[in-house]
Amino acid sequence: MHEWECTGFFTPEIDLDKLKKKGKILVIECPQRIPCDVCREVCPTNAIIMEKISDVPTLNEEKCVLCLKCVENCPGLAIFLLGVEGEKGYMVVPYEFLPIPKEGDEVKVLDRKGKEVGRGIVKEVRMGDTPLVKVEFSPDILKEARGFKT
Amino acid sequence: MPRIREHPILDFKWSERKKIKFTFDSEEIIGYDGDTIASALYASGKRVIRRSFKYHRPRGLFCGIGQCSSCLVKVNGIPNQKACVTPIEEGMVVESQGSIPSAERDLLSLLDALELKHGIQYEKFLGPKFLRPLYFKLFNFVLGSGNVKEEVPKVKFSEGYYPEKEVDVLVIGGGPAGICAAKASAECGARTLLVEERDRIGGELLKQTHKFFGSRRYYSGMRGFRIADVLSKELEKSGAEVMVNTLAIGYLDGKIGVCRDEREFSLVKPKCIVVSTGATERTLMFENNDLPGVMGAGGVQTLMHLYGVKPGEEALIVGSGNVGLILAYQLLQAGVEVKAVIEILPKIGGYFVHAAKIRRMGVEILTSHTIKRAVGRKEVEGAEIVKVDENLREIEGSERFIECDLICLAVGMSPNIEILRQMGCEVVYIPELGGFVAKHDENMETSRAGVFVAGDSSGIEEATTAMIEGEIAGISAALKSGKGRKEHEERREKLKMLLEEMRDNPFGERVVIGKKKMWGA
């Protein structure tokens, strides 16, 4: 039995140096074998590898063009974009609650357990079936930050 | 009124909807066009809808879909109407049954305080004989089963003749499995009829706001209620006939009796039958589990997503399977605070990603915990939860009180197999499939030739596998009725392989084990 099966949160290894070098990376937090193929099917460059429908998805970073289609469509809301811009860190996460924040709003940045780990500023909101929100914050909390509250 | 004014996914179009007035225990209630009696009452803050038979304990909504008897009321003088599925009409007179003066304030609730021996009515009220009709009326009143007034017109049955319809395939139940079965059968060229009890087809899909998992071929990534729309349109294209508001009452001599709008009775004579009647939510044993505010998870989803009613302010969810986890997320979206999700087993039952979604929003998932009692006088005011050890026994001294006004039970479902049993299909008990199921083979045919089963009524699973099973059953039924060609047989083989692939994971394993057990039984 994995610990995440009991706790409901999962902390994959994230290479911050690589993130700083590349500027932005896609993080998939989907460690369990479940019958779902949405990310693979929406990916325009076949960057998500999953042989059988219940396999755990893995990312081919060389093929990934960071189009965010998987982030928007993942039914488990388990894919995130993390990035660094200058002195700031940021995340792009799906958000299905009201009110939908506006650019410039200050929000509470939450970790995987819903605990506040800092404050962030909403930089961009992309409306769609699932709105995507870009939140900027201190780069120190890049490993923890996975959600926010308005 | 606790209506959901704004929702991130759904639009209830309140401003376009007509207001409808009716009375409940002489009090005026205002509901909206599309409401049922129960949803309008709930939205007006009326949670006590009836009183229990014997002790007159308060009772409210539980299942929300007409499967339990928790919300029976008298409508325009006719007793025992299900408040949760009866649409409201202007000027309707709704009364609670057997309470004086109202369900809310019932003087007979004193009976709950007396320690009455079980069955006293069989000992005490037998004589003298001339008083029996009076006792009968009195009991009917006190027990809340009502007395029919003389002026209520009796339904007239025509003498011995009912319209009869011949079809190749009859599908009973219009959820995801039934729709796919009817569609597949019609595509094979079989004359197909689908009967659905509710006013529209779609079943559980209609109440789901989250994006579905599963295979792209079966609409993964699409929200449940939209899948229902797409499937309905595809079914229309396939040429299958659909009858809504139609209840399949029973089976006799190769015919199924169906009743439309509770009035028109007719007979259907099919060559083959597909039963896709879904499942019923289970309840759980604990003190006060009948208090209004203790509801089945599906009932809560029905209130929120079909009728736009906010089911409470603070909720506790019992059970961390996918239903419990998804419900927690849906409650948060409707603006309800979720106090915790509790799970008796040491690990979370549903998909990790569903759990992570609600954890991220700060909802606690307490594993190795169960509910001890619901607390409250007329409705839920809180819950006492308790830790359990590795043998699932309560640990004394670990009790904790959680303040909440809604307790949602997401503790599993049992397949609806009544009509299969009545048709004489062999029934076996398989815990992995949710309890009693009709024994069926890979083509979904039961022990009775020509009778097929699909979806939750063949074993509790999820929507994608229900749709695949539906297609397999639909094709099988069409082939059996003499329709379809070799290509359809080939398609069925491919579907069987897909089904196997879908179940090749820790969640599907259980079903695979259950089906194997069933074949061996």
List, for residues B354-396, the tens digit of each pLDDT value. 999 999 999 999 999 999 999 999 999 999 999 999 999 999 9
Give me the pLDDT at residue B155, please. 60
Question: To 5 degrees, how large is the angle CA B293–CA B297–CA B302?
Answer: 90
Distance CA A50, CA B171 (A): 36
Instruction: Return the residue of B nearest to A6 by Cα.
Output: B347
- Closest partner CB to A114 (pick from B216, B346, B361): B361
Largest CA distance in chain B: 74
Report pLDDT for B133.
87
Write the DSSP string, B411-435.
--EEE--HHHHHTT--EEEEGGGTE
pLDDT tens digits, one per residue of B210-266: 999 999 999 999 999 999 999 999 999 999 999 999 999 999 989 999 999 888 889
More confident residue, B138 or B321: B321
Q: Testing the interface with A: which of B505, B509, B511 to mutate, by most A Cβ within 10 A?
A: B505
**Which residue, among A30, A38, A117, would best test binding to B if mutated, counting the most B CBs under 10 Å from its CB?**
A38
Report whether B404 contacts B382 (CB < 8 A): yes
**Segment A98-149, tens digit of pLDDT:** 999 999 999 999 999 999 999 999 999 999 999 999 999 999 999 999 999 9
B158 lies in some domain:
no
Q: Is B504 on the interface with A (CB under 8 A)?
A: yes
pLDDT band at B160 (very low <50, low <70, confident <90, very high): low
Model confidence at A13: pLDDT above 70: yes
If you write DSSP's letter for every residue of B307-319 in order, what string do you get?
T-B---SEEEEE-
Which of B360, B391, B411 is the last residue before a domain boundary?
B411
| Positive or negative torsion for Cα A121, A126, A127, A130 | negative
Please state the rounded mean pLDDT for residues B108-119: 78
Written as one letter, the residue type at B9 is I
Give CA–CA dist B277/B416, Å, rounded. Answer: 6
Q: Structure tokens of B385?
A: 């939860």
Higher per-residue confidence, B262 vs B429: B429
| B404 and B499 together in one domain | no
Cβ contact, residue pair A34, B332, below 8 Å: no
Q: Give chain B's domain count.
A: 3
Q: B357 and A1: CB-CB below 8 Å? A: no
Residue contact A147–B210, C-beta within 8 A: no
Interface probe for A, chosen from B360, B462, B468, B505 (most Cβ of A below 10 Å), is B360
In-domain check, residue B1:
no
d(CA B376, CA B368): 24
Which DSSP state fits B404? Answer: -
**In 3D, which of A76, A64, A54 has the Cα closest to residue A146?**
A76
State which H helix or E strand residue B333 sits in: helix B322-333
Peptide bond into A57 cis (omega under 30): no
Which of chain B's residues have a Cβ under 8 Å away from the Cβ of A41?
216, 220-221
Residues B276 and B418 in one domain: yes
The token pair that represents B495 in the structure block: 């579907």
Q: Is the pLDDT of residue B295 over 70?
A: yes
Is the CB of B512 inside 8 Å of chain A's CB atoms? no
B376 contact partners, CB below 8 Å, separation of at least 6: B288, B291, B293, B382
Same domain, B236 and B356: no
Tell me whether residues B347 and A5 touch, CB distance under 8 A. Answer: yes
Residue B136, pLDDT score: 80
What CA–CA distance (Å, rounded) separates B465 from B474?
A: 14
Residue B216 at interface with chain A, using a CB cutoff of 8 Å: yes
Q: Could you tell me the residue range of the domain that residue B243 belongs to?
A: 166-280+414-520
Q: Cβ–Cβ of B8/A100 closer than 8 Å?
A: yes
Note the pLDDT of residue B153.
61
Q: Are residues B299 and B406 in the same domain?
A: yes
Interface TM-score (ipTM) > 0.85: yes
CATH code for the domain in which residue B64 is found: 3.10.20.440
Distance (Å) from the alpha carbon of B354 to chain A's nearest alpha carbon: 6
Lowest mean pLDDT among A131-145, B13-27, B44-58: B44-58
- Residue B337, Cα to own-chain centre: how many angstroms? 24
- Does residue B423 share a domain with residue B274? yes
Helix (H) or strand (E) holding B27: strand B27-32
CB contact under 8 A, A112 and B360: yes
Q: Average pLDDT over chain B, rounded to whole?
A: 93
Q: What is the dihedral of CA B415, B50, B245, B19, to 10 degrees?
A: -130
CA A79 to chain centroid, in Å, comes to 4
Chain A residue numbers with beta carbons less than 8 Å from the beta carbon of B7 are: 98
Residue-level pLDDT at A53: 95
Same domain, B244 and B272: yes
User: In this complex, is the C-beta atom of B217 within 8 Å of any C-beta atom belonging to chain A?
Assistant: no
pLDDT of amino acid B45? 94
Distances (CA, A) of A15 to A26, A44, B468: 12, 25, 41
pLDDT over 70, % of chain B = 97
Nearest to B258 by CA among B247, B271, B273, B269: B247
Indicate which CATH number applies to the domain containing B196: 3.50.50.60
Q: How far apart are CA B74 and CA B148, in angstroms?
A: 10
Per the domain annotation, does B289 fall within a domain? Answer: no
At A43, which amino acid appears? Answer: C
Give the chain A residue whose CA is nearest to the CA of B343: A6
Set of chain B residues whose Cβ sits within 8 Å of the Cβ of A42: 221
The beta strands (E) that lie in B139-278 are given as 164-172, 192-195, 241-243, 246-252, 255-260, 264-275
Q: Which of B392, B411, B430 is the last residue of a domain?
A: B411
Residue B153 falls inside a structural domain: no
What's the pLDDT at B344? Answer: 97
Do B63 and B299 form a contact (C-beta atoms < 8 A)?
yes
Tell me whether residues B502 and A53 touch, CB distance under 8 A: yes
> Is B151 inside any structural domain?
no
From chain A, the residues in CB contact with B6 under 8 A are 98
HSE-up of residue B184 (Cα within 13 Å, Cβ side):
28
Last residue of a domain, one of B142, B176, B209: B142
- Among B353, B363, B365, B461, pick the best mutation site for testing chain A contact (most A Cβ within 10 A): B353
Q: Is the peptide bond before A99 cis (omega within 30 degrees of 0)?
A: yes
Task: Mark which residues 97-136 of B lie under 8 Å from A by CB.
Answer: none
Q: Quote the percentage of chain B above a pLDDT of 90.
A: 82
User: Domain check: are B170 and B125 in the same one?
Assistant: no
Same domain, B28 and B135: yes
Query: Predicted confidence band at B152 (pLDDT cuts at 50, 70, 90)?
Result: low
Cα B322 from chain centre? 16
pLDDT at B137: 81
The most confident of A11-15, B150-154, B193-197, by mean pLDDT: B193-197
Do both B394 and B460 map to the same domain? no
Structural domains of chain A in order of their starting residue, each with its CATH number: 4-149 (3.30.70.20)
Nearest CA to CA, how far is A71 from chain B (Å)?
11
Distance from CA of A30 to the nearest CA of B (A): 7
- Contact: B353, A34; criterion CB under 8 Å: yes
Q: Is the pLDDT of residue B480 over 80?
A: yes
Mean pLDDT of B127-135: 85
C-alpha–C-alpha distance, residues A47 and B187, integer Å = 36
pLDDT at residue B82 is higher than 80: yes
Query: Is the Cβ–Cβ distance between B402 and B316 less than 8 Å?
Result: yes
* pLDDT at residue B496 greater than cutoff 90: yes
**Which pLDDT does position B54 carry in this prediction?**
81
pLDDT at B184: 98
Q: Is residue B199 part of a domain?
A: yes
CA–CA gap between residue B132 and residue B135 (Å, rounded): 5
The answer to whether residues B322 and B401 belong to one domain is yes
Q: Are residues B43 and B115 in the same domain?
A: yes
pLDDT at B482 over 60: yes
Q: Are residues B264 and B302 in the same domain?
A: no
* Closest residue, chain B, to A40 (C-alpha): B216
Q: Nearest by CB to A146, which of B6, B360, B365?
A: B360
Whether residue B8 lies inside any domain: the answer is no
Residue B472 lies in a domain: yes
Predicted confidence band of residue B151 (pLDDT cuts 50, 70, 90): low
Q: Are A82 and A14 in contact (CB under 8 A)?
A: yes
- Closest Cβ–Cβ partner in B356, B363, B504 for A54: B504
Q: Is the dihedral of CA B51, B56, B58, B59 positive or negative?
A: negative
Q: How many angstroms separate the CA atoms of B309 and B328, rounded?
A: 16
Q: How many CA atoms lie within 13 A of B67 on its CB side?
A: 22
Name residue B357's amino acid. Answer: K
Rounded-to-integer distance, Cα B199 and Cα B405, Å? 31
Q: How far apart are CA B184 and CA B482, in angstroms?
A: 14
